[in-house]
A = this chain, B = another copy of it.
Amino acid sequence: MTGQRHDLGASFARLTRMMIDAETPILRAHEIEMWDYTVLSALESAAAPTQAELAAAVHRDKTRLIPILDRLESRRLLSRTPDPTDRRNRVVALTDEGRAVLASCRVDIRAMEAEFLASVPPAKRRTFIEVLNQLADLTAPGRSQSDDRE
């Protein structure tokens, strides 16, 4: 613990704010909001079997998620279909159009990220991203541990 000038929390918070500032105009150009993008991203790898599960994945409670889902569903970016097994559940899935919007946002965001990281030498950049992903996955790889408060 030598040259650690800032608290990790302070650095992460500042970088989060910087990325939000950089992503907001990009997403606006694609006519979606930050939370829309978060939800679409959460559905990319697999559909959510339950709205409550999706809410936990994006760290919102199920109540606050509903208006977001309403908006995205009305724009045909995702679908809510009752689970035949248990008709109380609604499985949330990306539509083809939703997947396309997500992909085009992703392209622009990746470009922004590349520019943001441009000043970092490639080797260090790779290490940074590797460690970043490792740490970010520490408690929430598949929500296996006690990540359910909230």
Contact = CB atoms under 8 A, between A and B. Distances in A.
Given A127-B124, A127-B127, A136 B11 contact: yes
Given A8-B116, A9-B23, A130 B18 contact: no
Interface residues of A, number: 49
B134 A120 contact: yes
A6 interface: yes
A15 B135 contact: yes
Interface of A: 1, 3-20, 22-23, 38, 41, 59, 106, 109-110, 113-114, 116-117, 119-120, 124-136, 138-140
Closest 7 CB pairs of A and B: A9-B19, A11-B136, A128-B131, A12-B16, A12-B15, A127-B127, A14-B136
